[in-house]
Amino acid sequence: MFSPEILKKRREELSMSQSDMARQLAISRQSYFAWESGKAKPSRQNIEKLAEVLSVSTAYFEAEYKIVETYLQLHAPNQEKLESYADQLLISQQETKVLELYSIRVLDDIALSAGVGEGLYDEYESIEVWTDKDYNYDIATWIKGDSMEPVYLSGEVALIREGGFDYDGAVYAVVWNERAYIKKVYLEEDGYRLVSLNPDYTDLFAAAEDHPKIVGKIIGHFTPLEG
């Protein structure tokens, strides 16, 4: 990759101005400035002219040139040492990479059932878990059961944005007959049809007379990070 920094450094080593370079290359100063500022890249023909004016090889302007040139001047044992050191630096860089984590408070005694349903309590405790993504949510709770597999897995955390029914086919948290569910919901004349993703489960019907409540839409889900 062409390096404007290397071009500038070589020009300054020879005590040449940008105007001097432009005159020798038979181009405008603005065109040369664009190369040295990184706003434009010279063509192969112009790189050859630059190499001639600055008394270097065309490869000199590549960002990797200095490393490769140094490597090629080393004897074989030292080349092996350099390769080993480079590998160690890469491993160290990967190991020291900092992963930003975000705290999620999960309602610990309420599970949104992807199966048989679970009790919903007025009082609850929460537990702190961690994820590497920053979510915008209102309520976090556990998923239990397998009726929403393969998308929503038992043991994951479901994230809810509070609100009522929005549109058919979205996945909602629903409270019905004192149990909480996570299901695809369809509005019907006299209630809600609750649909599982797992074909082994039949649909449920939450009659309006039972006063089912849409807690909110599921806007995300994740497996908490361990350690």
Report which of 128, 125, 141, 162 is spatially closest to residue 221, judged by C-alpha positions. 141
pTM value is 0.54
| Mean pLDDT value across the chain | 86
User: Does the pLDDT at position 99 exceed 60?
Assistant: yes
pLDDT for residue 111: 59
d(CA 2, CA 65): 10
Q: What is the 3-state secondary structure (H, E, C) of 203-224?
A: CEEEEHHHCCEEEEEEEEEECC
Average pLDDT over every residue of 197-217 = 94
- Report the percentage of the chain scoring pLDDT > 70: 89
d(CA 32, CA 211): 75
pLDDT, tens digit, 9 for 90 and up, residues 132-170:
899 999 999 899 889 999 999 988 999 999 999 999 999
Average pLDDT over every residue of 182-200 = 95
Beta strands at 102-113 and 139-144: parallel, antiparallel or unpaired: parallel
Give all domains of the chain, ordered by start, each with its CATH number.
4-95 (1.10.260.40), 102-222 (2.10.109.10)
Least confident piece of the model among 13-22, 110-119, 171-180, 216-225: 110-119
User: Does the pLDDT at position 50 exceed 80?
Assistant: yes
